[in-house]
A and B are shown apart, each in its own frame.
Chain A
């Protein structure tokens, strides 16, 4: 061992290879050192949280999925109209069920809502998946669980619930068992509701909807009508605050509701609405410039055109001014006013008001208006007083809103609109005509057929309408559609209210009359009395000089030998003083 020298000398090729080994070692060492340095640096960066790309836990928590998959529907104030509740469904894997009969008997003992025979058949079917119940309460779930029958399984699901019950059911619509929209908003916004998570705000106001529904229901029972409808519309934005159609149904029970009950009278139904159309006729005549407020027309005798005779219900039998024609709801006068303007302009005006196309509103249920394909003189004359043309009640209320709001037609909407970015709308009559129309409508309530629509403090104006229904092409005298369209306050209209009763019957209180002024006008009056304070409309004293000034209108009298002054200014016209041939 001692002979080994202390220093090993290597020469030549051996030295060369040792040098190579050293160099390689150095390079490898440097690479590793660099790697560890990178890892260390990265570790420091991550630990100090300096990396902005690093995911943050708080964000992940905020993105937890919603409780249910279908979005809520709320009213304009955030009141829940439709929501989905989590629930569990019960299904069976029948291959695992040993004794279907016994299982069915035990199951129906804890779920009395199920039919034992049906369950037994289902359980014997041999299928691997068969629904037994789509919704179980937590209590029922526990009961079924306790039975311990193998093959019965639970599936988390959700169920659409309408906390307001029947209120606004025709607007909201309903869904099927798989939560797909069948009708109404549920149908038209199906995609939005099933994908979005934010609630869908409607323009409806639950309080207004409730008042209108309650008043209509009361009138429907009082006058034994087969149906009723009504709506409240914001004249400035076109928002629908309430829309009611009777008869109605439970939205969760749409399967057993028949077609008549599901029928939305306000949008899907089209009716000949009668004298309320005289508002459009008067606006058209005044706006055309061919007729002034004092222009007179001869309403002495019934008008004979072709084989028809146009009569007045309670004939004044004299010359009438334009104001008086509206006040007494004269068909003869209205027909002549329309002829003065001409059929072509009349058609153009109705087209401009949107009355000849299906209503553009967010509901799948909209009715096609009915009107003559060839616009003859006789059509012009009858359309002047709302006959020979059938539109939906929502068409009417939207048109009236345009006539009184200064002349701008807005498209009606069921979605909440921000007043700031409401669509501009389209001018249909001049501001001057609109102002005259407001005064005339106020006059109909203070001096004419609409007296029952008075609501103290709210300066209601409006127009009555009563039309006979056509059954198999003939008008039926006793089957009426009676309506009233009113607005308030007439000094600066904010809301239009429409009430319509289908086949009302007169009673002792109305002296047997079932006309719009008797059955529908009180509904509008009482509704306005109750919703006015809710909607923040300031009541005004009717004897305030400024109000009188704003709403005053001279009723020029038609000339003629038989001027019965006592029925004009000051004293109300006799109730039910409305014309015949189906339009009052």
Chain B
């Protein structure tokens, strides 16, 4: 005749044992995952390191200058291309008669930053 408390103890012990195994395998799986993640991280860090070096190798100024000269219609910036912000003229207010009397209309979207009015499109 088994007492109630004994039965309870046996059930609890079994439950604890099962829980222990479940947790243990879970931890093992997580540890495997961590190890492979670390390995992957190391590989990625190495790849990033190599790619970083490659990026700076490929953007070496001499190479960029050669490529720009071959493929782009750009030239080095000179002093003539630079203007101090204070020297940029304010946009002239639009005259009423040019807008056909529609003074109330807000600034048109195409007139840009103080640029001269666009000529006929070529």
Decide: B79 and A533 in contact? CB cutoff 8 A.
yes
User: Chain A interface: which of B16-24, B51-59, B101-109?
Assistant: B51-59
Instruction: List, in ascending order, chain A residues with CB within 8 A of B61's CB.
Output: 164, 167, 206-207, 210
Decide: B52 and A80 in contact? CB cutoff 8 A.
yes
CB-based nearest B residue for A83: B53
B-contact bits for A522-536, CB 8 A (1 contact / 0 none): 000000011011000
Instruction: List, in ascending order, chain A residues with CB within 8 A of B57's CB.
Output: 161, 163-164
Q: Is A79 an interface residue (CB 8 A)?
A: yes
Decide: A457 and B46 in contact? CB cutoff 8 A.
no
User: Chain A interface: which of B7-15, B80-88, B111-119?
Assistant: B80-88
Could you tell me which residues of chain B, from 75 to 104, have a CB within 8 Å of some CB in chain A? 76-82, 84
Instruction: List, in ascending order, chain A residues with CB within 8 A of B76's CB.
Output: 530, 533
Per the bound structure, the CA–CA distance linking A292 and B87 in Å amounts to 39
Instruction: List, in ascending order, chain B residues with CB within 8 A of A221's CB.
Output: none
Decide: B79 and A85 in contact? CB cutoff 8 A.
no
Q: Is A64 an interface residue (CB 8 A)?
A: yes
Q: Is B74 an interface residue (CB 8 A)?
A: no
- Contacts A67-B49, A68-B49, A163-B53 known; A533 to B62 CB distance under 8 Å? no
Q: Is B45 an interface residue (CB 8 A)?
A: yes
Decide: B50 and A533 in contact? CB cutoff 8 A.
no
Decide: B53 and A85 in contact? CB cutoff 8 A.
yes
Q: Is B73 an interface residue (CB 8 A)?
A: no
Q: Is A478 an interface residue (CB 8 A)?
A: no
Distance in angstroms from A383 CB to nearest chain B CB is 37
Decide: B79 and A539 in contact? CB cutoff 8 A.
yes
Decide: B56 and A210 in contact? CB cutoff 8 A.
no
Q: Is A455 an interface residue (CB 8 A)?
A: yes
Q: Helix, strand, loop or mixed for chain B's interface? A: helix
Per the bound structure, the CA–CA distance linking A83 and B52 in Å amounts to 10
Distance in angstroms from A528 CB to nearest chain B CB is 10
Q: Is B33 an interface residue (CB 8 A)?
A: no
Instruction: List, in ascending order, chain B residues with CB within 8 A of A164's CB.
Output: 56-57, 60-61
The residue that A67 contacts in the complex, of B46, B56, B84, with Cβ under 8 A, is: B46
Decide: A533 and B60 in contact? CB cutoff 8 A.
no
Q: Is A484 an interface residue (CB 8 A)?
A: no
Instruction: List, in ascending order, chain B residues with CB within 8 A of A161's CB.
Output: 53, 57
Interface size of B in residues (CB-CB distance below 8 Å): 25
CB-based nearest A residue for B76: A530
Could you tell me which residues of chain A, from 386 to 444, have a CB within 8 Å of some CB in chain B? none
- Contacts A67-B46, A80-B52, A163-B53 known; A210 to B80 CB distance under 8 Å? no
Per the bound structure, the CA–CA distance linking A80 and B54 in Å amounts to 10
Per the bound structure, the CA–CA distance linking A456 and B79 in Å amounts to 7
The residue that B56 contacts in the complex, of A64, A79, A458, with Cβ under 8 A, is: A79
Q: Is A86 an interface residue (CB 8 A)?
A: yes
Q: Is B32 an interface residue (CB 8 A)?
A: no
Instruction: List, in ascending order, chain A residues with CB within 8 A of B46's CB.
Output: 67, 86
B-contact bits for A40-72, CB 8 A (1 contact / 0 none): 000000000000000000000100100110000
CB-based nearest A residue for B50: A85
Instruction: List, in ascending order, chain A residues with CB within 8 A of B53's CB.
Output: 80, 83, 85, 161, 163
Per the bound structure, the CA–CA distance linking A61 and B53 in Å amounts to 24
Instruction: List, in ascending order, chain B residues with CB within 8 A of A80's CB.
Output: 52-53, 56
Distance in angstroms from A536 CB to nearest chain B CB is 10
Per the bound structure, the CA–CA distance linking A533 and B56 in Å amounts to 22
Decide: A458 and B79 in contact? CB cutoff 8 A.
yes
Per the bound structure, the CA–CA distance linking A164 and B56 in Å amounts to 7
CB-based nearest A residue for B87: A541
- Contacts A64-B42, A86-B46 known; A529 to B79 CB distance under 8 Å? yes
Known: A64-B42, A163-B60, A533-B82. 9 other contacts (CB 8 A): A79-B59, A85-B50, A163-B57, A167-B61, A210-B61, A210-B62, A456-B79, A532-B79, A538-B82
Q: Can you name 14 A-B pairs with beta carbons within 8 Å?
A: A67-B49, A83-B49, A83-B53, A85-B50, A86-B49, A163-B53, A163-B56, A163-B60, A167-B60, A455-B79, A456-B80, A457-B82, A529-B78, A539-B82
